[in-house]
Amino acid sequence: MHVLEMVNISKEFPGVKALDRVNFKVRKGEIHALCGENGAGKSTLMKVLSGLYPAGTYSGDIVIGGEKKQFHNITDAEKAGIAIIHQELALVKEMTVGENIFLGAEPTKRGVIQWDELYHNAAQWLKRVGLHISPDTKIGSLGIGQQQLVEIAKALSKHTQILILDEPTAALTESEVAILMGILNQLRSEGVSCVYISHKMPEVFALADSITVLRDGHTVATLDRKETDDDQVVSLMVGRELTERYPRVEHRPSDTVLEVRNYNVWHPEKRNQKVIKDVNFQLRKGEILGIAGLMGAGRTELVSSLFGAYGGKATGEVLVEGKPVRIRSVSDAIRAGFALVSEDRKRQGLVMGMDVKTNTTMATLAKVSKLGVINDNEEIRWGLKYVQDLKTKTASLETPVGTLSGGNQQKVVVGKWLMSDPKILIMDEPTRGIDVGAKYEIYHLMNQLVDQGVAIIMISSELPEVLGMSDRILVMSEGRFVREFDWRDATQENIMQAATGGK
């Protein structure tokens, strides 16, 4: 039986047909994966379902339990048992966990919020998702994984029958992913249906009962997981056979461009806590250095500190092309030849209200201006170049980046830093949220840059990516480099072993 049928759903934005007569059916108590390239329409379809785009702004029918429904807002959809957890988390950082869970649905008596009851109930829902924290903890003090679980607790508290998760694991640690999968399996056995959007095929195949593939706003296929495989889903997504996932080319590393000696970094608030401990490494022109490690190992802290963006105190020596440099701010770092594609595009990468070309040229205004005046034609030329190189899906260069799909936003971040022509390009989870076809474009560009003499440091939690692209791999654990591998000697097993401290 289908709990949900979406029939001939179409939705347009100015200049974009995001959904074109999409059909989508979900059974009771199944996990249904929704796959497709960046910009295929996945998030839009789920925003229609969850009432974020109200009736009248799209065409087609939503049928729930055999009954046609029209949602005018999110509350209507919630009443019908639908809850969505968005691609970008949406909790209020200044409020407590309990306040967030019951935001807008606080238990009241004669108009007075019953705080004891609220916190008591919140504690029950937290237990349900395996989160052992007090409900009066402030959201801002939680990690992303824990926030994700709070969002799920919040959804469950609304007696959700159809839970939608839009790329829920993009920022989770391995153990958090395992917890999430456990919860979803549990919900399935209780008859809750789940729509699961993900670019990670191993997860899709571990969890889903059915898989629907969208391409360019159309439904391409709905498949039974047992009757399909990774390769079929990927080729349906990109519309062609994708034989090679990692374009490995022989690089020829030359002179050392970066040397880091006895580098130590302290936590910005907990000032006696060291997050990076006596790190030494060299990076050569024309090589890709992969940094592997578990989440929390210190990889992001190391590179953001080198980039002048961390805040905590750092000691040690940094030499660029043999000359000592002192980096106290991001502009110092850019001047010294660094660029950083950050893992968190919202906080460090993009200005959401500004358009594609402005975001692209933002870090390199000198290239598009003369005597401080921006030359529009130059700005357009550069903006266009990276939209074409990266195959970014956008209606125009004047489109605000906030309206692009998640993966296409990440491409704009990548373009912005490629334009700065760095000597040392640091990429922190560069393909997070990016579809398999587009990943390939980014890898290709990385190889081209390396050929031109750029040195790349790539942090990635996806081991196949580290193994597929790096010339050399350093493994970090608890703030130290614990092993170095030539790519030829590295395997998923020996990297994981080093990352977990050899256990």
Instruction: State the residues that interact with ligand ATP by CB under 6 A.
Output: 13, 16, 18, 36, 38-44, 87, 393, 403-408, 435
Q: Which one-letter amino acid corresponds to residue 138? A: K
| Nearest approach, Cβ of residue 409 and ligand ATP (Å) | 8
Among Mg ion, ligand ATP, none, residue 41 binds (CB under 5-8 Å by kind): ligand ATP
| Nearest approach, Cβ of residue 424 and Mg ion (Å) | 31
Among Mg ion, ligand ATP, none, residue 165 binds (CB under 5-8 Å by kind): none
CB closer to Mg ion, 38 vs 304:
38
| Nearest approach, Cβ of residue 84 and Mg ion (Å) | 12
Among ligand ATP, Mg ion, none, residue 40 binds (CB under 5-8 Å by kind): ligand ATP
E-assigned strand segments in 321-401 = 323-324, 338-341, 369-370, 373-374
| Nearest approach, Cβ of residue 87 and ligand ATP (Å) | 6
Cβ pair 337, 423 in contact under 8 A: yes
| Nearest approach, Cβ of residue 470 and ligand ATP (Å) | 25
Among ligand ATP, Mg ion, none, residue 86 binds (CB under 5-8 Å by kind): none
Among Mg ion, ligand ATP, none, residue 16 binds (CB under 5-8 Å by kind): ligand ATP
Residue nearest Mg ion, CB atom distance: 43
| Nearest approach, Cβ of residue 430 and ligand ATP (Å) | 15
CB closer to ligand ATP, 15 vs 322:
15
CB closer to ligand ATP, 236 vs 456:
236
CB closer to ligand ATP, 125 vs 443:
443
CB closer to ligand ATP, 213 vs 306:
213
CB closer to Mg ion, 203 vs 421:
203
| Nearest approach, Cβ of residue 22 and ligand ATP (Å) | 11
CB closer to ligand ATP, 308 vs 433:
433
| Nearest approach, Cβ of residue 208 and ligand ATP (Å) | 16
| Nearest approach, Cβ of residue 353 and ligand ATP (Å) | 12
| Nearest approach, Cβ of residue 168 and ligand ATP (Å) | 13
Q: What number of chain residues touch Mg ion (CB under 5 A)?
A: 3
Q: Is 171 left (phi over 0), alpha (psi -120 to 50) or beta?
A: alpha
CB closer to ligand ATP, 178 vs 351:
351
Among Mg ion, ligand ATP, none, residue 173 binds (CB under 5-8 Å by kind): none
Q: 353: number of CA atoms within 13 Å, CB side?
A: 0
CA-nearest of 302, 266, 307 to 474 is 302
Cβ pair 265, 302 in contact under 8 A: yes
What mask, x for binding Mg ion by CB under 5 A, covers residues 336 to 365? ------------------------------
Among ligand ATP, Mg ion, none, residue 393 binds (CB under 5-8 Å by kind): ligand ATP
Cβ pair 387, 415 in contact under 8 A: yes
Q: Which one-letter amino acid corresponds to residue 95? A: M
| Nearest approach, Cβ of residue 436 and Mg ion (Å) | 15
296, burial (CB in 10 Å: exposed 0-12, middle 13-18, buried 19+): middle
Please give the C-alpha separations between residue 113 and each of 79, 92, 107, 150, in angstroms, as whole numbers.
21, 18, 6, 21
Among Mg ion, ligand ATP, none, residue 422 binds (CB under 5-8 Å by kind): none
Cα–Cα distance, 383 to 369 (Å, whole number): 14
* DSSP designation for 349: I
What sign for the dihedral angle of Cα 156, 161, 165, 168? positive
Our finding on whether 43 is near Mg ion (CB under 5 A) is yes
Q: Which of residues 384-413 bind Mg ion (CB under 5 A)?
A: 405-406
CB closer to ligand ATP, 43 vs 169:
43
Cβ pair 422, 339 in contact under 8 A: yes
Please give the C-alpha separations between residue 468 and each of 340, 442, 486, in angstroms, as whole numbers.
21, 13, 12
Tokens of 124: 């029950």
CB neighbour burial string for 81-108, b if at least 16 within 10 angstroms, e if fewer? bbbbbbbebebeeeebbbbbbbeeeeee
Angle between helices 115-128 and 144-157 (to 10 degrees): 110
Cα–Cα distance, 363 to 351 (Å, whole number): 12
Our finding on whether 98 is near Mg ion (CB under 5 A) is no
Strands 424-428 and 314-320: unpaired
Please give the C-alpha separations between residue 407 and each of 4, 132, 243, 363, 387, in angstroms, as whole numbers.
27, 32, 22, 20, 13
CB closer to ligand ATP, 87 vs 147:
87
Question: Other CB atoms closer than 10 Å to residue 15's CB: what's the count?
Answer: 9
Among Mg ion, ligand ATP, none, residue 305 binds (CB under 5-8 Å by kind): none
CB closer to ligand ATP, 38 vs 304:
38
Q: Give me the residues that bind Mg ion (CB under 5 A), please.
A: 43, 405-406
